Structure 1
Amino acid sequence: MEFEKYNGLGNDFIFIDGTGEAVELTPQQVGFLCDRHFGIGADGVIVVRKADGADGYMHYINSDGSLAQMCGNGVRCFAKYLVDHGMVDASSGRLLAMTLAGPRPIAFDVDDEGKMTVATVEMGQPILEPAEVPCLLPGASLGRLGTVACEQAIDSPWGPFAFTAVSMGNPHAVCFVDNWQALDDGLFTDAERKGLDTLRIDEVGAWYESHGAFPQKTNVEFAEVTPEGVRMRVFERGCGETLACGTGACATAVAACLTGRAERAVTVSLKGGALAIEWGEDGVVRMTGPAAFAFSGTIQL
């Protein structure tokens, strides 16, 4: 099987062309492809398929073999795949990507060779109604945007954490930490340097990912406000910690605005780099960031 490898801020994906013939992968095959020791290594697999009324359909599969409705970094890489392969007119500057979460209009820039460099994705309006996220948080309150779950405390073995529930086509639980020193020492790889960088997100993120408050599991973000904007780390549902998460950055920006921590336009910094996020007055969240080609090859399944 031929493949190509792309990444958006280090969030990496294996691309397989499914436009000519049907490509169906088992969870075991996806796990092998994404394995960083025995396979190619990636956070997920994207099968490129044709779509009626759109330039292509992005079929995204998490590294554990589960389907994902949407992936922000993945859809920018998907746009680059379509542009760089001549499946859309590079001079048009726009395309429409179909996903399980619905259509996503994308504006893009290209370099002198006609290869895509940066894309702005219309990620749609955030879903804030708890039942539609979905989440089961009893303290959800009625605000000007309807019923929203903001800063709702959920207990854990390390004490309670307050989450804001947002869906960007996939569920997110965003926790802003205002006082790292108040948290349990066991949450950090270095108790002398408590902070976002030393947080054991692989443990606490995994614990909340499967919490009963989230019937379809959830992506988990821990974040803090800085003079430059917002910093965050993410434990992705069905994947684990990744260097970046586009939908997570969008959800975090929305949560920051909802809780009064940021304006509607904010820079969200992740381990792999920064994304510009704007929650427009029209309700649509727009994400701007890069996408890069890494390498291509063949592998036997």
Structure 2
Amino acid sequence: MIFTKYHGIGNDFILIDQRRSPIEESTFFVQIPRICDRHLGIGADGVLLLESSKRSDLQMRIFNSDGSEADMCGNGIRCVADYEIAHKPKIEIETRNGVFTCWRKEDQIGVDLKQPLICHWPMKIHEWSVYVVKVGVPHAVVFLSSFDQIDLIKIAQEIRSVFISEGINVNFASFLKGQLVVRTYERGVENETISCGTGFAAVAFVVSKLYNFPQPILIASASDKMTKQMKFFISTKGNIQMLAEACRVFSGSLHLA
């Protein structure tokens, strides 16, 4: 299996180009958890399969580290765009959630995530006000005064238990030292990830509605591993556009037993 390792603001992926180096899918899918394991495999939050498309420049399939397939991934699609875009001004990528436009701006990759779908605005779960929006995939947004003494995993699982059929992601946002900071619990990974593109976009959409934030809306990961921010712009039509780095880490090959 020939692969390239990428990350988008710390959210990391194993990218496999089926058009150039096809793999045997029947044996591959069951091995995704092992391949994504950070001790026994390459290590990643997910796998991105690149395939040919009749609707766009290429198709991206997204698999979480537990092997489940996702409809969309904001950081993943930007990594694919960085891999594919070369000197084109823009590129169209097909996903299970439709076709998305990506572009390069200097050393960053942008994506138009289209208009979010408001699901619950807000709803009360225990003591938390939870805003639920769909940005490619469903996200819950919760605002906290701080992250101190918060059992993020426990709270996220309690909120997820209310949305079992949707398999929702949970984003915790806080204003720390004048900066909007987010932590995300991702479905399919079933743990906290360093960042989540569509999750951060959901937070940007909610704060734009609640607080009339000036644009671009800057969001940072709470992880001390990442210092760079994502930028979000909301168009007059209501589309969310995300701009941030997508970084190639290394390439290699792995023998699938």
Same fold? TM cut 0.5: yes
Per-residue deviation at 1:101? 1.1
CA contact (8 A) 2:48 2:61 kept: yes
Matches within 5 A, 1:36-55: 36-55=38-57
Task: State the distance in 2 between where 1:67 and 1:266 align.
Answer: 29
Answer yes or no: is 1:282 the counterpart of 2:233: no
Answer yes or no: is 1:12 the counterpart of 2:2: no
Give the paired residue count.
249
Task: State the distance in 2 between where 1:275 and 1:23 align.
Answer: 36
- Match for 2:163 among 213, 217, 229? 213
Please identify which structure carries the higher strand content.
2
Answer yes or no: is 1:95 the counterpart of 2:91: yes
* 1:266 corresponding residue in structure 2: 217
Answer yes or no: is 1:154 the counterpart of 2:125: yes
Per-residue deviation at 1:214? 4.7
* 1:119 corresponding residue in structure 2: 109
TM-score, normalised on structure 1?
0.77
Question: What RMSD over aligned residues (CA atoms) do the two structures have, in Å?
Answer: 1.9
CA contact (8 A) 1:253 1:264 kept: no
Runs of 5+ unmatched residues, structure 2 = none
Task: State the distance in 2 between where 1:22 and 1:52 align.
Answer: 21
- Match for 1:297 among 247, 252, 257? 252
* 1:251 corresponding residue in structure 2: 202
TM-score, normalised on structure 2?
0.90
Larger radius of gyration: 1
Letter in 2 for 1:243: I
Task: State the distance in 1 between where 2:79 and 2:28 align.
Answer: 23
Runs of 5+ unmatched residues, structure 1 = 84-89, 111-116, 131-148, 179-194
List per-residue Cα deviations over 1:187-236 (Å, max 9, x = no partner).
xxxxxxxx326532222223323x13352210000101346442110001
Please state whether the residue corresponding to 1:124 is helix, strand or coil.
coil
Task: State the distance in 1 between where 2:98 and 2:171 align.
Answer: 23
* 2:81 corresponding residue in structure 1: 79
Per-residue deviation at 1:296? 1.1
**Identity score, percent:** 32
Task: State the distance in 1 between where 2:158 and 2:254 align.
Answer: 34
- Match for 1:104 among 100, 111, 124? 100
